[in-house]
Amino acid sequence: MLPLTSRPRALTTVDALLTEGLAHPDRVAELRQVTSEFRLRISPLMREAMGNLATGPLARQFVPTPAELDVRPEERTDPIGDLTHKVAPGLTHRYPDRVILAVTQSCDVYCRFCFRRETVGGDGALSDADLDAACAYIAAHPAIWEVVLTGGDPLSLSARRIGAIMDRLSRIPHLGIIRFHTRVPVVFPERITPALIRALKVRPAVYMVIHTNHAQELTGVSCAALARLAQAGIPLLSQTVLLKGINDDPDTLEDLFRTLLRNRVKPYYLHHSDLARGTGHFRTSISAGQAIMKVLRGRLSGTALPTYVLDIPGGFGKVPIGPAYLTPDAGGWRVTDPQGHSHLYRDPV
């Protein structure tokens, strides 16, 4: 694998898209308007993996389109209410036992549907002073046993900086879990170096939740990076966003979830797309998502099935929204099996 400095550069401008044949010359003005508001970056690996498929599942996730200028009335600048629960710079405390710590606003790709698209790409990494303030808050709240590192993408930081953050968090005795939410092993796997893995060997258990939406993202080098993490003993989970025209059909998701499981990544969440501004063209209905989950339940083992969830707009938390298999009936329960047949079940008295 090429070292970080020898790889081709990321695509970050509309001009670069034009040169690569990923933008139509007639749409340049609109694309400049989109990218003046929502940052553009496509990692070299994702550029390579999308090939010439300017409308394929990878291009649709990373290449801006004029559709992003269509902002709908229900869409919000802070779709899941991060700001409502912000307690210090970079720190969100929504649930009693865990906090979200945004350690950087930078990512190696900027996904066109990102629910934090208003903030990613902003002012770089959390300062030492802000990290100290966040750690002081966590230390003062013994009920917090898990820190979710997010951003931006926390693994876009250097191994040295991640080591410093791990060291700081490890000194908080009541912390049991440090969880990374990241796209790096998929989109920029060169960052999964021995130095990074050494930095992750700390006392709180480190979990990695990998964001990936289509099996085409899981290139050979990405799978090798996942293997390095798995071999280091880091439990791997995935999160996927349900995206219209990209993965909103059972065959595509089945392929993704089987590929993940083969690579020792347990499918964890399938997110209903959030109400971020300019992302309506990616959104399916909840009933469409439930229908997909119903089909998948009939095809896949529980190990391959994520939970279909909605982050309730406004910061009210995440809830499962998968299809219902159980309804009350005649003092018992009417249960639907994966083939759609109905059965009566009574609790033993």
Alpha-carbon 272 to chain mean position: 12
Alpha-carbon 188 to chain mean position: 14
Does residue 274 have an active-site annotation? yes
Could you tell me if 312 and 323 are in contact, meaning their C-beta atoms sit under 8 angstroms apart?
no
Task: For the sheet with 342-345, list strands across it.
Answer: 326-329, 332-336, 342-345
Interacting span for ligand SF4 (CB under 6 A) from 50-58, 88-96, 111-119, 157-165: 111-119
The footprint of ligand SF4 on residues 221-240 (CB under 6 A) is: none
Reported as type and span, the H/E element at residue 294 is helix 286-299
Nearer to ligand SF4, 181 or 297 (CB): 181
- Measured CA to CA, the distance from residue 157 to residue 163 in angstroms comes to 10
The footprint of ligand SF4 on residues 141-160 (CB under 6 A) is: 151-153
Does 283 contact ligand SF4 by CB under 6 A? no
Binding residues with ligand SF4: total (CB under 6 A): 12
Does residue 116 have an active-site annotation? yes
Does residue 325 have an active-site annotation? no
- 3-class DSSP state for residue 268? strand
Catalytic residue among 94, 117, 191, 297, which?
A: 94
The footprint of ligand SF4 on residues 168-197 (CB under 6 A) is: 183
Nearer to ligand SF4, 107 or 292 (CB): 107
At which residue do the structure tokens 């992750």 appear?
A: 200
Angle at Cα 195 formed by Cα 194 and Cα 199, nearest 5°? 115
Contacts of 312 (CB under 8 A, 6+ apart): 80, 318, 319
Selected from 46, 107, 144, 157, the binder of ligand SF4 by CB under 6 A is: 107
Catalytic residue among 47, 98, 179, 191, which?
A: 98
Beta carbon of residue 43, minimum distance to ligand SF4 (angstroms, whole number): 10
Q: Which chain residues interact with ligand SF4 by CB under 6 A?
A: 107, 109-111, 114, 116, 120, 151-153, 183, 211
Give catalytic residue positions: 94-95, 98, 107, 111, 114, 116, 274, 311, 318
